[in-house]
C-alpha cells in the first residue's frame, strides 16, 4: 500500500492560484483530476460528505457561496482545496478517520484554506502547466514526481506555509465549534497522521520500503504544538446552538464496505489486453491493435490497423531445456539474430530475430516459460521495410506478459472496511493472524482503531478491520 498525508496535500493547496497569476484555475484542475483519478462510486457516501461540506460553509465567512466537493477514488491519504471553491478528499483518508467529528475537522480545514484566501493569493512560482502536471502525478501515486513536488512545497514552510496551515486549522476549528463538534477531535485526527508517520519511519529503519514523510509542520506530536492548541482552544469560546456527539455510529454506517487500498473492482479491462483465465496469463497488445483467438489451435493473434503487422502467441508444452535451447532445439530454429534473454515479470524467456527467407520478411521470435507451458510469440510484418517500425512494438508487447493475479481471477475484488465487535478474547495479533496480516499491517490495524503503538480493544467495542 502507498501512503501520503492529507496535510501534505493541503500544503499543495497553498500553491494553487487563480488564473490571474498564471496558474491553473479550479475548473482546469478539476478536469485534469477527474481524468487522472475519477470519483469514487458511492452516491450515498458522497451525498453524506457533500452535506457536511455545505454545513461547514453555512457557518463560514463564505456562507451562501457555492462549493464543489468530490470524493476521489484513490487510496492515498489526501484532502485538498483549489481555486474556485473546489474541495477534494481521497477515499483513502476515510480509512484513518475515526468518527464524524474528525471527518468534519478535515473538511473544515480545507474549507478554511478557501475562506482564508490561501488558494487565491499565492502565485504558482513554478508555472501553471508544470504545477498542474505535478499535482495530478502526486494524486495518482507517482512517488518520484510527488517527492520532487513536495520538496518545493516544503520550502514554503519557511515563508507563509506554516502560518497558512495554522490559519486553516483555526478557521476549521471555529467552524467545528459553531456546528457543535468538539474541536479537540482535530487534534485527534492530526495525531493519527503523526502516528502513521512514526510507524512508517520505524518500518523504513527496519529495512522496509521507503515511505513518504510527514509534511514537517509539526516536529513533535500535534498535541504538543502550542500554536495549534491555542487555535483549537480559541475555537471553544464560540457559542453553538447545540452540541453534537462525535458521530461514531453514523460514520460506521457510512463507511461500512469502503474500499481499502487499490480499487481493483473499478478498473476497466483494456481493449488491447488478452487474458486467459484458464492458463492464468495475460499480455497487452499495442494501443489500437485488435486481437482474436483460434479456439482449435489455441493461438491468439493481434493485428495492427490495415494488417501491416501481427503478433501471435501460442502455448506449447514446456521441456527441461532453457528457453534458448527450447527455441533452437524443440522448435528446430537454426539461427536467430540479435538474440538475448528476456525476463517479463521475472519469468525466464529468450528472443531474437528470425531472418526471412525466399523474399519473406524477418520475424520476431520469443518464448516465455510459465509453469508447465512455453509461450511462443511470433511477430510478423507484411513488408520487410516496416519491420524496424513494428519490432519495437513486438518486444514491448511480449514484455507485458505476466501471470494473472489472484485478484484478477477473483474478479478483481478489492479489500474493504468492516466493523466487528470485540470480545474478551479479541487482540490485534489474533485479528492479524485471522486476516493473514504481516506485523506492519497489524500495527496499521492498531493505528486505525486508535491503539498505536500498543493497546488492545475492550470487550463490546467496535473494531475496524479490512479484508476481501
- Contact between 246 and 99 under an 8 Å Cβ cutoff? The reply is yes
* Cβ neighbour number for residue 144 with a 10 Å cutoff: 8
Let me know: does 107 contact 49? Beta carbons within 8 Å. yes
In this predicted structure, what is the pLDDT of residue 387? 95
Domain 415-467, architecture per CATH: Roll (3.10)
Q: How remote is the C-alpha of 129 from its chain's centroid? A: 22
**Domain 273-408, second-level architecture:** 3-Layer(aba) Sandwich (3.40)
Handedness of CA 215, 216, 217, 219 (dihedral sign): positive
Q: Where in the chain is the domain with CATH 3.40.1000.10?
A: 273-408
Q: What is the distance between the terminal CA atoms of the chain, rounded to a whole angstrom?
A: 15
Task: Please tell me the predicted confidence (pLDDT) of residue 72.
Answer: 92
The three cell numbers of residue 183 are 474541536
C-alpha cell at 166: 495554522
Q: CATH 3.10.350.10 residue ranges in the chain?
A: 415-467
Cα angle 75, 76, 80 (rounded to 5 degrees) comes to 120
* Cβ–Cβ under 8 Å, residues 402 and 281: yes
Q: 235-251 in b/e burial notation, b at 16+ Cβ within 10 A?
A: beeeeeeeeeebbeeeb
* Grid coordinates belonging to 16: 494553487
Residue 143: closest CA among 341, 4, 283: 4
Computed from CA positions of residues 315, 320, 322, 324, in that sequence, does the dihedral angle turn out positive or negative?
negative
Overall pTM surpassing 0.85 (yes/no): no
- Report yes or no: 106 and 89 within 8 Å, Cβ to Cβ: yes
| pLDDT, one tens digit for every residue, the chain (468 residues) | 333 333 344 334 433 333 333 456 788 888 878 877 889 999 999 999 999 999 999 999 999 999 999 999 988 888 888 889 999 999 999 999 999 999 999 999 999 999 998 876 544 433 444 455 555 555 544 444 444 444 444 444 334 466 788 888 999 999 999 999 999 999 999 889 888 888 888 877 765 544 444 334 455 566 667 778 887 888 887 666 668 999 999 999 999 999 998 776 545 568 899 988 888 899 999 999 999 999 888 999 999 989 999 999 999 999 999 999 999 988 788 789 999 999 999 899 999 999 998 889 999 999 999 999 999 999 999 999 999 999 999 999 999 999 987 666 665 678 899 999 999 999 999 999 999 898 989 999 999 999 999 999 999 999 999 987
Q: Are 13 and 84 a contacting pair, CB within 8 Å?
A: no
Contact status, residue 357 vs residue 345, Cβ threshold 8 Å: no
Amino acid at each position: 500500500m502507498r501512503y501520503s498525508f492529507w496535510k501534505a496535500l493541503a500544503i499543495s493547496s497553498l500553491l494553487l492560484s487563480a488564473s490571474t497569476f498564471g496558474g491553473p484555475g479550479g475548473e482546469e484542475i478539476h478536469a485534469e483530476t477527474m481524468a487522472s483519478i475519477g470519483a469514487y462510486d458511492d452516491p450515498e457516501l458522497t451525498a453524506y460528505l457533500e452535506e457536511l461540506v455545505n454545513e461547514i460553509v453555512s457557518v463560514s465567512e463564505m456562507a451562501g457561496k457555492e462549493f464543489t466537493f468530490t470524493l476521489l477514488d484513490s487510496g492515498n491519504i489526501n484532502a485538498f482545496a483549489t481555486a474556485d471553491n473546489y474541495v477534494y478528499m481521497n477515499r483513502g483518508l476515510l480509512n484513518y478517520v475515526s468518527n464524524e467529528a474528525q471527518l468534519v475537522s478535515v473538511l473544515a480545514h480545507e474549507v478554511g484554506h478557501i475562506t482564508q484566501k490561501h488558494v487565491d493569493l499565492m502565485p504558482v512560482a513554478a508555472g501553471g502547466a508544470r504545477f498542474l502536471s505535478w499535482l495530478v502525478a502526486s494524486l495518482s501515486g507517482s512517488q518520484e514526481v510527488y517527492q520532487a513536488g513536495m520538496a518545493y512545497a516544503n520550502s514554503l514552510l519557511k515563508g507563509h506555509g506554516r502560518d497558512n496551515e495554522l490559519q486553516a486549522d483555526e478557521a476549521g476549528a471555529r467552524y467545528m465549534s459553531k456546528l457543535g463538534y468538539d474541536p479537540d477531535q482535530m487534534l485527534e485526527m492530526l495525531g493519527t497522521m503523526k502516528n502513521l508517520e512514526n510507524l512508517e519511519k520505524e518500518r523504513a529503519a527496519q529495512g522496509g520500503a521507503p515511505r513518504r514523510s510527514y509534511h514537517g509542520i509539526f516536529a513533535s506530536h500535534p498535541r504538543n504544538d502550542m500554536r495549534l492548541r491555542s487555535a483549537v482552544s480559541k475555537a471553544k469560546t464560540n457559542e453553538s446552538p447545540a452540541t453534537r456527539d462525535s458521530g461514531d455510529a453514523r460514520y460506521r454506517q457510512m463507511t461500512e464496505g469502503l474500499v481499502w487500498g487499490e480499487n481493483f473492482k473499478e478498473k476497466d479491462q483494456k481493449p488491447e489486453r488478452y487474458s486467459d483465465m484458464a492458463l492464468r496469463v495475460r499480455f497487452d497488445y499495442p494501443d489500437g491493435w485488435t486481437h482474436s483467438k483460434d479456439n482449435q489451435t489455441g493461438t491468439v493473434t493481434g493485428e495492427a490497423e490495415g494488417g501491416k503487422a501481427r503478433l501471435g502467441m501460442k502455448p506449447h508444452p514446456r521441456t527441461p531445456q532453457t528457453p534458448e535451447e527450447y527455441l533452437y532445439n524443440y522448435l528446430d530454429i537454426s539461427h536467430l539474430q540479435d538474440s538475448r534473454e528476456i525476463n517479463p515479470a521475472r519469468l525466464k524467456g529468450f528472443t531474437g530475430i528470425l531472418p526471412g527467407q525466399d523474399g519473406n520478411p524477418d520475424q520476431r521470435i520469443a518464448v516465455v516459460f510459465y509453469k508447465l507451458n512455453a509461450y511462443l510469440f511470433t511477430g510478423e510484418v507484411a513488408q520487410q521495410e516496416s519491420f524496424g517500425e513494428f519490432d519495437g512494438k513486438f518486444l514491448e508487447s511480449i514484455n507485458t506478459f505476466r501471470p494473472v493475479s489472484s485478484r484478477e481471477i477473483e474478479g478483481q475484488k478489492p479489500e474493504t472496511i468492516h466493523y466487528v465487535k470485540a470480545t474478551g478474547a479479541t487482540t490485534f495479533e489474533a485479528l492479524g493472524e485471522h486476516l493473514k496480516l504481516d506485523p506492519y499491517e497489524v500495527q496499521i490495524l492498531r493505528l486505525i482503531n486508535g491503539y498505536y503503538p500498543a493497546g488492545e480493544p475492550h470487550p463490546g467495542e467496535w473494531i475496524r478491520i479490512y479484508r476481501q
